[in-house]
Structure 1
Amino acid sequence: MSVTVSSTPEVDSHEIIDAVEYYFQNEWTDGLPVVPVTESYLAEFLATVDRDPSEVLFTVTHLNRSITVRLAALNAALAGCKPEYLPTVIAAWESVAKEPHPARGIWQSTTGTAPFLLVNGPVRAELEINSRGNIFGGGFRANATIGRAIRLGLINVFGLNPHGLDQATQGNPSKVTAVIAENEEQSPWPSFAVENGFAEGDSVATMFVIRSVVHIEARHTMIPEQLALDFVDTICRTGALIHEYTSTLLVLVPEHAELFANAGWSKDDLRAFIFENAVRDRAELARVGKEALSNKTRWRLPADHPDSTPDTASASDTPDRVRLLSHPTNVQIVVAGADNAGVSAVVEVFTLNPPRAIPFSSTKIDE
C-alpha cells in the first residue's frame, strides 16, 4: 500500500492525537479512539434532520438524564458516523424509548443486556448497511458506527461506564456495537417491518434488548421439522432460562429460510412449530435447579428455595412438561446473512412476557 504524504499538512498530527487523548482522559469513549468534533462538524449532522436540537429523544427517569437530538448527533459524530446516518441514529433512540425495560434500569443490568438494532427498507442500500455476509462482524462503517453511536450515548449522556453505572458481570460483544439489516432481497417472506404494519417502501429501525447471539450450524437436513427442532434446542437451553419464559429473535440465513418456504411454511408456521415444541421435562429443569419460580421476581429457582412458587405449567394438564414460551410471538424471525452456508443464529431477547400486541419497538426513519 502506498501513501502520499503532503510536505505541508493542514493539521499537525500531534494535535489530533492530543485531542483524541483528551477524550480518553475524560472517559468519553468506549475504549476505542473517537473522532474529535467541532461545532461546525456537528452542524453538518444536525442539518440532515428537521428536528429541534433540544428535543428529547429518550429519558432514563431514575438517572434524571435525557438524550436530545443534539447529543445524539454529537455521539454519532464521535462514533465515526457520516452525517447522513443521523436520521437512523435518531430513529434508533426513539425505538429505545418505546422499550419498557430502560425505566427499570435494564441498561445497567448485571445480565449484560445490550441494544441490538435491526434496519429495514431502502435506507439499507442508501447507507450501505450490511445485510449479507458477516452481519455480526465488522467491515461495514454504517453497521459499526450507528451501533457505536448508541453505545457512546449510553456512556456519555447516561453515565453507563463499565465498573460504574453499567454493572454487567461479563457483558457481551453487542455492548460495543450491534446493527444488522434484513436481507429482504433474498427472503422468501415479507420483511420484519412489513410484517409489523409498515409499508414496503418505509425505512424502519427496530431496537431489541439482547443478551447473546448463538450460531446454529445446520447443514445436515432438508427436512423443515428437523431444522426447526435444532433451533428449539438452543432456544430452550437451560442456561437461557432466567424468567418463567424465554424469547428469541431467530436470524435465518437465506438457505434456511428457503428450506422452510419451499416446504410451504410461513413465518407463522415456523413460530407455531417452535412454540409447540419449546418444552422441557420438569425433571430436566430440576436437575439444574430451575423447576420453580420466585414469588417476587418470577425468575427460575429450585423448588426448595424459601421464595419459590410453582410455575404456570404446574396447574396445567401436563405438569411435568414445562412450556418455555408464553406465546408464538415470543419468536420473531428475520432473514439476514450470506447465502453460502447453513449457519443461522438464535438471538436471546430480553423482553416482557406475556408479549405485547406490537412485539418490538419499531420506528420509521425520517428520510
Structure 2
Amino acid sequence: MNVTLRETGGQTASLSIVNPIARQKVETAEMVRHPAAPRLDTLEGKIIGFFWNGKQQGNQALERTKANLKKLYPDVQFRDYLGAMGGVLRRASDEQLDAMARECDAVVGTSADCGSCTSWLIHDMCGIEQRGTPAIAWTAKQFHEDAHWSANVWGVPDLVISEVPECFTNNSPDRIHAMVDAAMDQIIRGFTETPTTATLDFKRINRESVDERELSYDGADLMEAFDAMQSAFVRAGWSDGFPLVPPTPAKVARMVEASGKPGDHVLGLLEPGFGLATVEKIAANAVMAGCTPAMMPLLLAIVDAFLDYRAGFRGVCMSTGPQAPVILVSGPVVDELGLNCGIASIGPGSQNAANVAIGRAARLFMMNIGLSYPGVSDMDTHGTTMKFSYCVAENQARNPWAPYRMVKGYAEDESTVTINSPFSQTCLYDFQNQDAELLAETFGSAMSSAANAMGAAWLTTHKGADNLPAVWRGDPDNLLILCPDHAQVFHRAGWSLETLREKLYHYSRLPFRKAMLNKTPELFKTVHPHLQWMWEQPDTEISLYGAPESFDIFVTGGDAGWSTWHDGGTYSVTRRVGDI
C-alpha cells in the first residue's frame, strides 16, 4: 500500500489519497443560474397551463387543481398540455415549452413522485421559468430533496415545489383530491409571491471536500488510518458499502499514465449531477474498486458510453425502478484482462476478480462522478444487487454465431464494451428441450409479463427522435444472456440470430387486456386512436416488444441450461476499447 507516513503527535501513520469526488457543473463559473420568473398579482382572469408528464393519476390531481382554482377565481382559464415525448414518463419538447410560456400566465406540472420522473418534470418546469413564466411542480414528500436538487442542477434553484404527503400513483381519487385540497395555498402563494429557497443543504450529498485534491486520514497505525478512511467515506455517502482500496497518489498516477491522457482531461459531464468526468477522477474511483492500470482503456470506454445521450443515464441513475448497467465485454481484451466468461461468469468469486472490479468501478463512477446518491439522486424503491457490479465477458469459443462485437459492426480483432441498463434479471431454466421451437416458447413465457417495466410500452408511448433514449421512444433493447447449451440448441436447428429474434418476438405476447393492466387508458387513446377497437376485443394478442430487433443476444457462461433475461430499460450503447 502506498501511504504517506509521518509522526502526528500520538498518532503514527497518515494515509493520503487522491480525492475521488468530482466537481459539478453548478460549481463552476460556466454555470448559468436563472432567477425565478416574475410572479402574478392575482390569478383572476389569467390563463393557467396544466402540464401532465404521463404519471399515473397525475391527471386526476390536475383536474382537482383546476376545480379548486375555478371556485376561487371564476374568470380563470385553463389550457392542457401532455408531454410530447415518452409514455408513462413524458417530457415536453422545446416547442411545447415555448408554447406554454407564450400561451399561459403560469403553469402547474405533475407529477414529481418518482426518481427520474421528478428530475425531468423539474427540467420542464425550469425551462418554463427560464422563459419568463411562473411554474410549479406537484411533488410527493419523499421526492422533495430530489426536486430541489434537480432544480439546482437545471439552473433554477428557486423553482417552487408544491409538496403533498404521498405519491399520486396507486392512490384513490378521494385521497388525491384530499392531498390537492390541503396544498392549494402552496399553488396560490407560488404564483403570487416571489419564491426564495433557503440555503441549499442536501443532506445526502457531501460536498465539503470537493475542492481539495487530496484527503488525509490518520491513525495509530496503517490499519487504523485505513479504517478511518473507510468510516469517513461511509459517513459522506461516497462508499458502495464494501471496503475500498485507498486511491493513493502513486496508484492513481499509474492509472492516469495508462490512459495516455492528462489527469485534468475532461471526457464530459456525467449525469445526473453533471459531474466533471476527468481522467484523474475516473482513475481514483477505479483504484478504489480494485482495478489495474491495464483496465484503464476499457474504463474510459465505459464512461464514454455512459455519456452517450441514448444511454438514458439520468433515468438509469435516478429511477425508482431497479435499473443498473450491465457491462458486456467482447474481443481480445477479455483474455488480456483475465475476464471470466465461463463457469459463474456473472457474480462474485476469485475467478471473477477482474469482472467484479470493472463493474464496481462503474458503480463508483455513477456515484462519485455523476453524483447518483440514494435518497436524492438515486430514488430506488427497493434497488437491485446488480448495482454492486455487473460486468460479463463473451464466451466467444462457445458462441456458435458471429462474435458479439462483429454483430455490432466492429472487426474481429477489435475489442468492445457495451452498456445496457435493464430493470430486472430473470433466470430462464430449460434442461428439457432439444427442439429450438419449444425452447424459444419457454423463453417467451418468461418474457410475456404485464409487469415488465417497459413491456408493451409502445401502447402508450409517442416516439421521439431517433437520437433520444429508449424511455422517450418505448423500444428499449431487451438483453438475453444465453448460456452456451441453449445457444447450441438454436444453432443446431439452423437458426440465425435474426431467426431467434423473430421467434422471441412471436412468443412474447399477451392478450391486450393483460398488457393494459398497468397502463393508462387515456395515454393509449392519445397515442393510438385507431386501435381503440381492442377494448371490444380484449383477448386480441399483441407483442410486448416493438420489433424483433429489440432483442440483444449475448453468449456467456458454462454448461447446463440456464440463461438470463433482462427486460429492457435502455438501448445497448457500444464503444470500441482504445478509442478514448
TM-score by length of 1: 0.85
Amino acid at match of 1:179: C
Equivalent-residue separation in structure 2 for 1:61 and 1:23 (angstroms): 21
* 2:550 paired residue among 304, 327, 330: 330
* CA spacing shift, 1:313–1:170, aligned 2, 3 Å: farther
- State which drifts further: 325-334 or 58-67: 58-67
SS of 2:300 mapped into structure 1: helix
- Aligned match of 2:241: 31
Whether 1:162 aligns to 2:374 is yes
* 2:255 paired residue among 45, 50, 71: 45
- Aligned match of 2:492: 262
2:270, 2:369 within 8 Å by CA — same for their partners in 1? no
- Aligned match of 1:248: 478
- The C-alpha deviation readout for 1:57-115, integer Å capped at 9, x for no partner, is 34246633231221111100011111211111111111122242546443111112111
- State which drifts further: 65-74 or 264-273: 65-74
Equivalent-residue separation in structure 2 for 1:222 and 1:313 (angstroms): 43
SS of 2:345 mapped into structure 1: coil
- Aligned match of 1:80: 290
Amino acid at match of 1:217: Y
Deviation at 1:185, TM superposition (A): 0.7
Equivalent-residue separation in structure 1 for 2:272 and 2:258 (angstroms): 32
Amino acid at match of 1:23: F
Whether 1:124 aligns to 2:334 is yes
Equivalent-residue separation in structure 1 for 2:271 and 2:557 (angstroms): 37
* CA spacing shift, 1:284–1:35, aligned 2, 3 Å: same
- The C-alpha deviation readout for 1:273-331, integer Å capped at 9, x for no partner, is 11223221113335xx24xxxxxxxxx23x3xx55526659639987222212111100
* CA spacing shift, 1:162–1:310, aligned 2, 3 Å: same
Amino acid at match of 1:85: M
Amino acid at match of 2:493: A
- Aligned match of 2:102: none
Structure 1 or 2, whichever has the larger Rg, is: 2
Whether 1:192 aligns to 2:404 is yes
2:306, 2:313 within 8 Å by CA — same for their partners in 1? no
Equivalent-residue separation in structure 2 for 1:212 and 1:85 (angstroms): 27
* Residues matched between the structures, number: 337
- Aligned match of 1:347: 566
Counterpart mapping for 1:1-367 below 5 A: 12-60=222-270, 63-102=273-312, 104-139=314-349, 140-242=352-454, 243-244=457-458, 247-286=477-516, 289-290=517-518, 300-301=519-520, 303=521, 306-309=522-525, 312=528, 315=531, 320-339=540-559, 341-351=560-570, 360-366=572-578
Equivalent-residue separation in structure 2 for 1:28 and 1:167 (angstroms): 16
* CA spacing shift, 1:62–1:177, aligned 2, 3 Å: closer
- The C-alpha deviation readout for 1:210-261, integer Å capped at 9, x for no partner, is 1111111100111101100111111221111432366421111111111111
Deviation at 1:53, TM superposition (A): 2.2
* CA spacing shift, 1:138–1:281, aligned 2, 3 Å: same
Amino acid at match of 1:130: N
* CA spacing shift, 1:310–1:284, aligned 2, 3 Å: farther
Amino acid at match of 1:275: Y
Equivalent-residue separation in structure 2 for 1:99 and 1:250 (angstroms): 23
* CA spacing shift, 1:332–1:102, aligned 2, 3 Å: closer
2:310, 2:573 within 8 Å by CA — same for their partners in 1? no
1:120, 1:192 within 8 Å by CA — same for their partners in 2? yes
1:235, 1:248 within 8 Å by CA — same for their partners in 2? no
- State which drifts further: 171-180 or 49-58: 49-58
Equivalent-residue separation in structure 2 for 1:215 and 1:62 (angstroms): 31
Deviation at 1:23, TM superposition (A): 2.5
- The C-alpha deviation readout for 1:162-214, integer Å capped at 9, x for no partner, is 12211111111111111000100111111111111111111111011111111
TM-score by length of 2: 0.55
2:272, 2:318 within 8 Å by CA — same for their partners in 1? no
Equivalent-residue separation in structure 2 for 1:69 and 1:154 (angstroms): 14
RMSD between aligned alpha carbons?
2.5
Amino acid at match of 1:343: W
Equivalent-residue separation in structure 2 for 1:102 and 1:60 (angstroms): 11
- Aligned match of 1:356: none
2:302, 2:419 within 8 Å by CA — same for their partners in 1? yes
* CA spacing shift, 1:265–1:155, aligned 2, 3 Å: same
* CA spacing shift, 1:99–1:138, aligned 2, 3 Å: farther
1:313, 1:321 within 8 Å by CA — same for their partners in 2? no
**Larger RCO, structure (CA 8 Å, separation 6 or more):** 1
Q: For structure 2, list consecutive stretches of 5 or more residues without a partner in the other structure.
A: 1-12, 14-220, 459-473
Equivalent-residue separation in structure 1 for 2:530 and 2:446 (angstroms): 23
